[in-house]
């Protein structure tokens, strides 16, 4: 039988023409973070059940969402693919996915790094590695993993837009905002459905504190990045964040109700955005009404175990906002059990996630001094439990507010002035400086 190849020229063991078509469809959907790549890869497996790369693809899909129910599906896919004849590249994918399925994040990242060094045009390896770098907070590898592969790509290769979009995000997370924005805009010009590229430019505008430009980037173009995108809620969150920076509170609440929390589905990525937005609103002293309770209900069944500390933090935001004491304690118990497991998540909890989660609980209990004591030691290493600069900013905002409420005016002022230096046009930063400045003192 003739061995078929993917669009980048990689051999696909066991593929049939129908399976190849479905596989390429799944690959395109995953690169755009839109459509239904799970359904597409299932069609590939129906057409060619002995196609190990399709099993590896399915494993990555169900691992990278960090959903609890995805883990057994991913493990089954790894086992099925490993039992089949496969070439070296396919075995490398299955090995790396198997490591991640065991909670060995850093070993999976290294295995994917080696795979990409040998096969730089393997977009799935780059995308999986990029996401693992994001989850582990490795901003340098977010950039460099992609930069190493770029010379092997050009606009004639399907998926080039996604490589540019990933490079853009890595550049943004390492502070190269000019090049990041250029790469992201180039990616969107090549493929207007590339949600990650839209998101990379949004991050760049957020870090530059250009909320009006961020609104102009996202709002008129929602028809390109929103429909059918499983990063759509996150990009709506970015749009709401830009409006929040401009004190457009009614618009933020509208976006929350209609786009961020509107689906009502228990999808972790969406719940993270919903929790983070409500917490930011509440830190500003705004009334979010009864919105915490339904959000906490959606979180409750998803954190019976701690698999990723960054998710735990956002669950605690919801449980604290809703006053759900039983769920708060259950989450702390889950983290304690995860520490005993000894996988990489135990390290995330030990270094950052445990203190951050308990700090949120302390804030909700009105123990603002304890919140400060827990957050101060971790703020400069918070990247070690993943997320982006924009997402982790929530910890700094909480620390400033906790210092103000604890009466630690000197710390609050230092943090507020620090923020204003980075965001001199920020209305919120100016208010925080004013609140932390003693009456009659000279203000920065």
Give the position of tokens 């929602």. Answer: 222
Q: What is the mean pLDDT of the chain?
A: 96
Question: 319 pLDDT exceeds 50?
Answer: yes
Q: Kindly give the interhelix angle for 105-118 and 139-149, rounded to the nearest 10 degrees.
A: 20
For 193-202, how does the pLDDT look when each residue is reduced to its tens digit (9 = 90+)? 999 999 999 9
Q: How far apart are CA 62 and CA 111, in angstroms?
A: 18
Question: 98: Cβ–Cβ under 8 A, 6 or more apart, which residues?
Answer: 59, 75, 78, 82
What is the pLDDT, as a whole number, of residue 342? 85
> Would the pLDDT of 444 be above 70?
no
pLDDT band at 441 (very low <50, low <70, confident <90, very high): low
Taking alpha carbons only, the member of 115, 75, 122 closest to residue 99 is 75
pLDDT tier for residue 262 given thresholds of 50, 70 and 90: confident
pLDDT at 264 over 80: no
Q: Band the pLDDT of 214: cuts 50, 70, 90.
A: very high
Domains and CATH numbers, the chain: 1-133 (1.25.40.10)
Q: Is the pLDDT assigned to residue 83 strictly greater than 90? A: yes
pLDDT, residue 285, reads 96
Q: Say yes or no to pLDDT of 442 above 80.
A: no
Lowest mean pLDDT among 1-5, 44-48, 66-70: 1-5
Residue with tokens 């896919």: 77
Q: What are the C-alpha distances in Å from 276 to residues 279, 281, 295?
A: 5, 9, 11
Residue 356 has pLDDT above 90, yes or no: yes
At residue 266, the pLDDT reads 67
């Amino acid at each position: 039988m003739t061995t078929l190849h993917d669009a980048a020229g990689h051999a696909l063991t066991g593929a049939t023409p129908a399976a190849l078509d479905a596989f390429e469809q799944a690959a395109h959907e995953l690169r755009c973070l839109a459509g239904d790549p799970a359904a597409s890869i299932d069609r590939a497996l129906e057409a060619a059940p002995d196609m190990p790369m399709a099993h590896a693809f399915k494993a990555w899909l169900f691992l990278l969402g960090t959903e609890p129910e995805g883990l057994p599906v991913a493990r089954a896919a790894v086992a099925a693919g490993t039992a089949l004849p496969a070439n070296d590249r396919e075995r490398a994918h299955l090995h790396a996915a198997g490591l991640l399925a065991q909670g060995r994040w850093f070993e999976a990242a290294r295995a994917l790094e080696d795979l990409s060094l040998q096969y730089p045009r393997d977009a799935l390896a780059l995308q999986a590695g990029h996401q693992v770098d994001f989850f582990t907070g490795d901003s340098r590898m977010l950039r460099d993993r992609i930069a190493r592969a770029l010379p092997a790509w050009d606009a004639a290769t399907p998926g080039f837009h996604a490589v540019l979009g990933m490079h853009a995000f890595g550049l943004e997370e390492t502070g190269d905002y000019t090049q990041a924005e250029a790469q992201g805009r180039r990616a969107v010009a090549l493929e207007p459905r590339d949600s990650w590229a839209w998101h990379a430019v949004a991050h760049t505008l957020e870090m530059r504190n250009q909320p009006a430009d961020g609104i102009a980037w996202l709002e008129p173009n929602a028809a390109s990045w929103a429909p059918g995108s499983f990063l759509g809620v996150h990009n709506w969150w970015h749009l709401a964040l830009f409006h929040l920076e401009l004190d457009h509170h009614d618009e933020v609440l509208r976006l929350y109700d209609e786009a961020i929390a509107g689906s009502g589905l228990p999808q972790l990525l969406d719940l993270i955005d919903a929790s983070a937005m409500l917490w930011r609103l509440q830190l500003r002293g705004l009334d979010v009404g009864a919105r915490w309770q339904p959000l906490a209900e959606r979180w409750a069944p998803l954190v019976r175990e701690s698999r990723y500390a960054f998710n735990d933090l956002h669950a605690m935001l919801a449980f604290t906002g809703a006053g759900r004491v039983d769920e708060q304690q259950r989450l702390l118990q889950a983290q304690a059990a995860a520490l005993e497991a000894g996988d990489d998540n135990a390290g995330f909890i030990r270094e950052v996630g445990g203190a951050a989660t308990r700090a949120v609980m302390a804030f909700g209990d009105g123990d603002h001094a304890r919140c400060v004591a827990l957050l101060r030691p971790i703020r400069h290493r918070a990247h070690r439990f993943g997320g982006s600069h924009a997402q982790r900013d929530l910890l700094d905002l909480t620390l400033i507010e906790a210092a103000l409420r604890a009466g630690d005016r000197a710390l609050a002022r230092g943090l507020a002035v620090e923020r204003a230096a980075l965001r001199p046009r920020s209305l919120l930063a100016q208010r925080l400086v004013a609140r932390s400045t003693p009456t009659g003192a000279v203000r920065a």
